[in-house]
Chains A and B, each alone.
Chain A
Amino acid sequence: MFSHPLLVLGIETSCDETGVALYDTHRGLLSHALYSQSEMHSEYGGVVPELASRDHIRRVLPLIRQILSAAGVDLADLDAIAYTQGPGLAGALLVGASISAALGFALNIPVLGIHHLEGHLLSPLLSKPAPAFPFVALLVSGGHTQLMEVNGLGLYTLLGETVDDAAGEAFDKTAKLLGLGYPGGPALSKLADEFVHSGHSKYFELPRPMLHSGDLNFSFSGLKTAVLTLMHKHEMTPDTRGAMAFAFQEAVVDVLAEKSLAALAKTGLTQLVVAGGVGANRQLRNTLCRKAEQIGATVFFPEFEFCTDNGAMIAFAGAMRMQETSDQDKRTDVFTINARWDLEMQGLCT
């Protein structure tokens, strides 16, 4: 995949995680580190953009020092720096962008802005075995729910996406309703998994939004309302709470899995790649693997730690982009961010 040996530093600061990583095109991922602010934001019931930015600027350099020493490399060994250019929180993105641009200036090496979603899309390529192009990608995070056909670097066709809430957002909002705090996606999923294993019988059925819409779009905001309605109708006990969590998870997973298979059928492809934070969901993993096997397709997941925001995917995407970008485009002191940035709008898609 890579012809030249290159060492790339990746910096991710788009939301509430500071991620940094060193990717070597011949030796692979050398080291990486992540600092999650989620505990700080949980007291506020959601991400406070200004506080996120204030924290990123405290973390980036110490984390870079940490991964340089873990990998046993010097700043002078770097060949390029990749940072998340967007989409994300403007102030947070600017922290990573300004440090990257200035460090690249000082070291006299190229600095590349990377699309956050491209980072997620390519993150399964960091695992072994890695899928080869082309594949279908299901991107399910707190901010996005999309199905993409990926034919190569920068060759992305949007097949379908959510018309309202992202899957992770629906997990988090529903978790909040159920009193599981913020961000409650993982807690909700844990509760649902415990519920099935404990052999409980209290069972609720929730709708499968847009399952038969005939396209590859999703809608998840109605599910949260449906859970609210259940909460009004039933006394809330640990059992009913678990049952509601389970019913919610099952509905989301069902729709995600069915539409992913439909996307494989539509494109004629046999590899499905799952990326984004909800990709950590155990039931989604199990269901996708089982259904894909039935039709002879293979599912690839990033390592758990690379499902959510991380620096490794940015370093890796930067390394891939370095092979394709002309030397002239790599040298610029002007750094930009793009808080709202559509993969398709920017001509990154075919």
Chain B
Amino acid sequence: MATVESHSSDSFLKILALDTSTEYCSVALFLNGEVISHEILAGQRHSELILPMVRQALGEAGLTLTQLDGIAFGVGPGSFTGLRIACGIAQGLAFGADLPVVGICTLEALAQEGGGGRIIAALDARMSQIYHAAYEKEAHGWQLIAEPALCSPEDAPLVPNGNWTGCGSGFDKYDQALRARYGGSVKRTISGLRPHARSIAQLAAPRFAMGGGIDPADAMPCYIRNKVALKEKER
């Protein structure tokens, strides 16, 4: 599946974007304001799919890596292993082609997929928890209303009253609990949305344009869930 969308700003840039934070694998090219993208339901086969998808996208655009201005990837939150695959691929490609990297929060990419207005983005974090953030679309991008955080649906950070849209696997799984938490503020939910490389490309473009690219060795996943084991003295 290839989609073409137009985007007004930063029209001189060429960016490759990747996301492997969910069971989907997506790749996008931001080319002078337009976005070409591909997405495949990968399960656990991201490592087999991602580079062939990159090669295919570059081939379709008739580009080589060195003609790009930078590489963007979904830093998380999401599947830990998936985040490291995207990060490792971004690091390797950017190091080899001498390009800067921009990491984009997958919750913001999810909000971007949701369109505009006020969005509560929630991703299933397993163990009865969600990764949560809230954004409001403004003229120059997304305003962060609630910081990315790990919480149970029942304790999700509250947002100002108003007209909110809920989206992401967190809403798909905990729709009732989250709607109860937000009273009438969540007016609608969009099911089936997920972070996508095309949104990552769009969000990364202005950051590259402002010189926000970083050294590939500094590109890191953002797990949010940081406590993954107990030290001996904590048991």
Contact = CB atoms under 8 A, between A and B. Distances in A.
Interface of A: 43-45, 48, 50-51, 53-54, 57-58, 60-62, 64-65, 75, 90-91, 94-95, 97-107, 333-337
A102 B223 contact: no
Contacts of A60: 88, 91
Interface of B: 47-48, 51-52, 54-55, 65, 80-81, 84-85, 87-97, 216-217, 220-221, 223, 228-233
A334 B232 contact: no
Contact of B221 (A45, A57, A62, A65): A57
B81 A333 contact: no
B96 A334 contact: no
Given A50-B80, A62-B217, A105-B93, A333 B51 contact: yes
Top-8 shortest CB links A-B: A106-B96, A102-B92, A98-B88, A333-B51, A61-B217, A103-B92, A48-B229, A99-B92
12 contacts: A44-B231, A48-B229, A54-B221, A57-B221, A61-B95, A61-B217, A75-B96, A103-B93, A104-B92, A105-B65, A107-B96, A334-B48
Nearest to B217: A61
Q: Chain B interface mostly helix, strand, loop or mixed?
A: helix
Contacts, number: 112
Contacts of A95: 84, 88
Contact of A48 (B81, B93, B228): B228
A54 B51 contact: no
Given A95-B88, A106-B95, A334 B228 contact: no
Contacts of B221: 54, 57
Contacts of A336: 47-48
Contacts of B54: 105, 333
Contact of A333 (B52, B91, B95): B52
A128 B90 CA distance: 39
**Of A60, A98, A335, most B-chain CB atoms within 10 Å:** A98
Given A48-B228, A58-B220, A336-B47, A103 B81 contact: no
A274 B93 CA distance: 38
Contact of B89 (A44, A61, A101, A107): A101
B223 A54 contact: yes
Contacts of B48: 334-336
Contacts of A75: 95-96
Contact of A106 (B92, B229, B233): B92
B96 A90 contact: no
Given A103-B95, A336-B47, A44 B229 contact: yes
A53 B82 CA distance: 12
Contacts of B47: 94, 97-98, 101, 334-337
Contacts of B228: 48, 50-51
A44 B230 contact: yes
Contacts of B80: 50, 53-54, 91
Given A44-B231, A98-B92, A107-B96, A57 B51 contact: no
Contacts of B89: 98-99, 101-102
Contacts of A106: 65, 92-97
Given A44-B231, A105-B54, A61 B91 contact: yes
A102 B46 CA distance: 13
A20 to B, nearest CB: 13
Contacts of B223: 54
